[in-house]
Amino acid sequence: MEQQQEATIEPKKARTGIIDCDVHPYPRNTEEIRSYMKQPWRERYNGGGRGFYGNPVHGDRLDARPPQGGPSGSEPELLRRQLVDEYGYAHAILMPRAFCNLHPDPDFGNAIAAAYNDWLADTWLSKYNADGVFKGSITVNTQDPQAAAREIERWAGHPHFVQVMTDSGARAPFGQRQFYPIYEACEKFGLPFAIHPGTDGMGINVQPSPGFPTHYIEWHTCLSLGFQAHLVSFLTEGVFERFPRFKIVLVEGGVSWLAPLMWRLDAEYKALRYEVPWLKRKPSEYLRDHVRITSQPLERPDNDAYLLQMFEMMDAEHVLMFSSDYPHWDFDSPTRAFPKLPEALHRRIFSENAIEFYNL
Amino acid sequence: MKEAIDIARHVVGKVAEIPAGTRRMVVVEGRPIGVFNVNGTYYALKNSCPHQGAPLCLGTVTGMTLPSAPGEYNYGREGEIVRCPWHGWEFDIATGKSIFDPHKCLVKTYDVTVEAGEVPEVETYPVFVESGSVVVHV
């Protein structure tokens, strides 16, 4: 209102080839999603996000709010200017926030997932995507795995959908067999399965902590607990033996916990292999073939050397992919979030791992 | 050679153009700077957050929860804090120091003065304010 922006900084135009594995497009309003729904869902759907555990200050970058109104991430031109052009992206992997799997009614959840997929295909993956810079995620409702598999099949032939996604908030750890129809479809169509925070402890889902924490800072810090539980479940239940070409990506679940968790799991395996005889290798050995993890929010210790050691210990060269989480408040800048990396490692993290993982 | 580093003065606007509670973004010698009027006093901060380089001065000008005992909320310093538009870090507009670590995390500040207008035809305070200039020293 009172701001008088009299000078703006010229964006860098160089194409750096960065691939950002977590960018959030938003509909301009609820009606945009509702228009893709049939009755009775169209009348019933009122948008709505997570419900509670909101950021007490601001949940998105203030400078990402379109001047003409509407939510952050809803204006393709602004998103392109602040992200794609500013940093010279090759691709942005889009992850809409449907929050479809917090509903007790699975049919309602399915309707929301389908509407978001229709909307994304019509807008960000086509109308706004002449240069093909945007790649999308097929939203699925994990509380109805059969319907989720059909939704994957509906979109699998689309040139710009590159993965299947759902929230890390779930009713059970994701390695369990009730979810296998989803993984079977992912494998059949060669689409990775992405997990993103969203409905942890919301609606019908389990909170990944002992009960419900008081503050957003607790809830947000502990989101990584759910990811750890899902990963251990995927590895021990033998999902990657059952679906040998199935791949997962853990988005926005934290990074630096990976190495010590794998040390612990491998150590347990030596004694407890008896219980999970289908594992043909140490649990951690499945990682490079099946698991990727995205960087934001990157833990940044005061001593950069510690983080670089972590990268080495977790095999970041092969498993870590850059993400910014634009337009959210904890956005990681491609040029400022990381310490200086050896050039080859930088290339792996900022582009090559994603090119290979998504066949871009 | 003189020892002092050259400090140049840059007129960034008239006093009346930056009333209390508002700010103005300028670029001086290539440096993006935010000039704030906090309750009649002017301050200038580099428009770049020391964390990841966000345009800090475009953030919310607000108050803060003051240090308190567990379970207590005391709110104060309304209008004296700017909160980074990206990650929400709080900075004291007057000093450029962050609230959570004022000694290690701070943004560069610049001196600001208010100088009389060139034609102070009527020597009364309101006229002086109307015609004075806000000057940032870089």
Q: What are the tens digits of pLDDT across the range B44-66?
A: 999 999 999 999 999 999 999 99
> pLDDT class for B130, splitting at 50, 70, 90?
low
B contact set with A (CB within 8 A): 21-27, 32, 51-55, 58-60, 83, 85-88
* Residues from chain A contacting residue B53 (CB–CB below 8 Å): 333, 335-336
pLDDT tens digits along A165-195 = 999 999 999 999 999 999 999 999 999 999 9
- According to CATH, the superfamily of the domain at A19-48+59-358 is Metal-dependent hydrolases (3.20.20.140)
pLDDT band at B127 (very low <50, low <70, confident <90, very high): very low
- The predicted model scores a pTM of 0.90
* Cβ A283 vs Cβ A235: under 8 Å: yes
Distance of alpha carbon B95 from alpha carbon A87, whole angstroms: 31
List of chain A residues whose C-beta atoms are within 8 Å of the C-beta of residue B32 = 7, 9
What is the SS3 string spanning chain A?
A: CCCCECCCCCCCCCCCCEEEEEECCCCCCHHHHHCCCCCCHHHHCCCCCCCCCCCCCCCECHHHCCCCCCCCCCCHHHHHHHHHHHHCEEEEEECCCCCHHHCCCHHHHHHHHHHHHHHHHHHHHHHCCCCCCEEEEEECCCCCHHHHHHHHHHHCCCCCEEEEEEECCCCCCCCCHHHHHHHHHHHHHCCCEEEECCCCCCCCCCCCCCCCCCCHHHHHHCHHHHHHHHHHHHHHCCHHHHCCCCCEEECCCCCCCHHHHHHHHHHHHHHHHHHCCCCCCCHHHHHHHHEEEECCCCCCCCCHHHHHHHHHHCCHHHHEECCCCCCECCCCCCCCCCCCCCHHHHHHHHHHHHHHHHCC
Structure tokens that stand for A302 in this block: 């005061």
Contact A329 B52 (CB under 8 A): no
How much is the average pLDDT of A120-133?
A: 97
Closest Cα of chain A to B37: distance in Å? 11
Contact state of A6 with B25 under an 8 Å Cβ cutoff: yes
- Whole-angstrom CA distances from A22 to A10, A137, A325 are 25, 10, 5
Q: Which one is predicted more confidently, B132 or A41?
A: A41
Of A139-153, B72-86, B105-119, B124-138, the one with minimum mean pLDDT is B124-138
* Sign of the torsion angle spanned by Cα atoms A338, A342, A343, A349: negative
With an 8 Å Cβ cutoff, are B52 and A336 in contact?
yes
Q: Of A43-52, A135-144, B53-62, which gets the smallest average pLDDT? A: A43-52
Q: How far is it, in rounded angstroms, from Cα B79 to Cα B38?
A: 7
**φ, ψ dihedrals at A310, nearest 5°:** -60, -45
Q: Report whether pLDDT(B20) > 50.
A: yes
Chain B residues with CB inside 8 Å of A9's CB? 32
